[in-house]
Structure 1
């Protein structure tokens, strides 16, 4: 992998980290936490990583709160 490809890969990973951190901050501001919120390790490997944010597990009451919040934003 050349320097340009490494730079692009690093940029995609940074973007995923920022998305994860933004979601964590927004949830904290709303009084909620996804304890397993992280980047998906499998999606970070290889020459051309396609990073995914892994939302992980949460208790049922948080899943219901998230479903309500998403439902309020749906068209």
Structure 2
């Protein structure tokens, strides 16, 4: 079965996740479970079996979703505080 390219919205969410992960890494922060998710009802019928694999995480995401969300997952209190501090410093500039 051939793998199709992700829809523009799914690609946009994947690119956003990667950019956010890179920025967080530069700030010394790593969220343990960042991924891209689509709503259950948004998978198009022709894509029920065909899926694309996220190479970094091995996650399976529908290729035909009409929109996708960057899921930041959960993090420890110290990571949340570090993230808040980085955001506050950036907002103060």
Matched residues, number: 68
Q: Write out aligned runs for 1:1-75 (5 A).
A: 10-42=7-39, 45-47=42-44, 49-72=66-89, 73=91
Question: Deviation digits for residues 23-75 of structure 1, max 9, x if unmatched?
Answer: 1111111111111000124368423522000000111111011122223317x
The farther-off stretch of 65-74 and 9-18 is 65-74
Instruction: Judging by fraction of residues, say which structure has more helix.
Output: 1
The two structures have a TM-score, normalised by structure 1, of 0.72
Give the conservation status (yes or no) of the 8 Å contact 1:43–1:50. Answer: no
Give the conservation status (yes or no) of the 8 Å contact 1:37–1:54. Answer: yes
Structure 1 pair 25/64, CA: closer, same or farther in 2 (3 Å)?
same
Higher RCO structure (Cα 8 Å, ≥6 apart):
2
Structure 2 residue runs without a partner (length 5+): 45-64
Instruction: Judging by fraction of residues, say which structure has more strand.
Output: 2
